[in-house]
Amino acid sequence: MRISEAATASGLRVDTIRYYEATGLVPKVARGSDGHRRFSPENVEWLSLLYWLRETGMPMKVMKRFAELYAAGNETIPERKAILMDHSKLLQMRRENLDRCEDVLARKLEIYEDYLT
């Protein structure tokens, strides 16, 4: 798979994929004889996991650590599991933030209604 296809498949942009590879977030991407990247299905699955982690606010430092563990093999699964479970807690906090913001917006909008009527 070429980089543009990997981009549409994962949700990341081509620039972001290159950037992630350069900073070590994507292990061992193969190259064709033309020097262009060739993404394996495993690569693409990894990229789309990164997409979701980023989309929900995981810092790159943590993604970096996660990628190193991933590259190191299956004996690192317990630590990877811990990272994902931590992130899941963060998702919970974000959800609460969304709820609170929704409240704030609702109250503000109500005040606007009062002004407009």
Partner DNA sequence: CCTTGACCTAGAGTAACTCGAGGCCGGTAT
Partner DNA sequence: ATACCGGCCTCGAGTTACTCTAGGTCAAGG
Question: Where in 12-51 is the site for its own copies (CB under 8 A)?
Answer: 49
Instruction: Please state the closest distance from residue 20 (CB atom) to its own copies, in A.
Output: 17
- Of residues 2 and 95, the one with the C-beta less far from its own copies: 95
- Of residues 4 and 56, the one with the C-beta less far from its own copies: 56
- Both structure tokens of 84: 């994902």
Distance CA 107, CA 5 (A): 44
Q: How far is CA 117 from CA 40, 108, 112, in A?
A: 60, 15, 9
- Both structure tokens of 23: 């900073």
Max intra-chain CA distance, the chain: 69
* Residues making contact with its own copies (CB under 8 A): 49, 52-53, 55-56, 74, 77-78, 80-81, 84-85, 87-88, 91, 94-95, 97-98, 100-102, 104-105, 108-109, 112, 115-116
